[in-house]
Amino acid sequence: GEVNNEIIGTNINLGAQNLLGEAKGAFTGEISTAMIRDAGCSYVIVGHSERRQYFGETDETVNKKTKAALAADITPIVCVGETLKEREDNVTFSVIEKQVRDGLADITLQQASLTVIAYEPVWAIGTGKTATPDQAQEVHSFIRKIYAQMYKESAEKVRILYGGSVNPGNVSDLMKKSDIDGGLVGGASLEAESFTKLVKYSK
C-alpha cells in the first residue's frame, strides 16, 4: 500500500509478520500470501517464538507456512530458538536441530538457498539479556552445519540472522562473527535513533 509506494526505488523491502499456510479457502481473519504480495511485501516472518508460544505454532505448521511463502515467491524468515529451560537443561542443539529439520523439510535446493533463518534464543527476547557473540556464533554455525546436511551447498547461501535483544551496543560484535549474517530486530526498531544506529553500525 502506501508504505510500499514510499520505498519504491530504495533498498528497503517490506515484510509481514505471519501468513496462512493454505493457498486458498475460507479462513476468516488469516493473512493469505495474496494479501501479503498485494501489500508489496517480499518477506514474511514464520514461526516467531511468540507465535509458537501463544498461538500454537509447531514445526509442522512452520513447514507448511514456509512452503506456502516460497510457492508465492515470498522469502520466508524462519525463526528457531530455545527457551531458558531448554538451554539450562543442555538441550539447545537438539531443539534447534529438530526445528530446522522439521520446519525446513522438503523444499528444493533453490528454495533452500533463498530462505532466511533467524536464530532467536527465546530467553533473550525482550528481556534485555543477549546471547554473547560466541554463544550466538556457536548456534549459527550449528544451524549452517545441519542445513548443509539437508541442502548441501545451499548452506553457504542461506542467510542466518540473530534475533535476541540486538541493540546499538552489541550489534558490531555480533556481526563480526562468521556465521551471523544480519539481525532480526525487535524492540530496538521502535525508536528511530536506536534503529538508525543499528542500520548504520560499523564493523
Determine the pLDDT at residue 128: 73
Return the CATH number of the domain spanning residue range 43-200: 3.20.20.70
pTM summary value:
0.94
Determine the pLDDT at residue 2: 84
Determine the pLDDT at residue 75: 98
Determine the pLDDT at residue 164: 86
- Measured CA to CA in angstroms, residue 43 lies from 26, 33, 91, 97 at distances of 23, 10, 30, 23
C-alpha cell read off for 108:
528444493
Query: CB-hemisphere CA count at 13 Å for 17?
Result: 7
Question: Of the residues 22, 48, 60, 88, which is catalytic?
Answer: 48
Determine the pLDDT at residue 13: 93
Query: CB-hemisphere CA count at 13 Å for 142?
Result: 19
d(CA 32, CA 18): 9
Q: What is the 3-state secondary structure (H, E, C) of 156-193?
A: HHCEEEECCCCCCCCHHHHHCCCCCCEECCCHHHCCHH
3-state SS assignment for residue 40:
coil
Mark whether 156 is an active-site residue. Answer: no
Determine the pLDDT at residue 90: 96
User: Could you tell me which residues are beta bridge partners of residue 118?
Assistant: 79, 161
Determine the pLDDT at residue 1: 67
Mark whether 140 is an active-site residue. Answer: no
Residues of the chain with pLDDT under 50: none
Question: Of the residues 57, 82, 86, 120, which is catalytic?
Answer: 120
Determine the pLDDT at residue 188: 84
What pairing do the DSSP bridges indicate for beta strands 41-46 and 116-119? unpaired
Determine the pLDDT at residue 126: 72
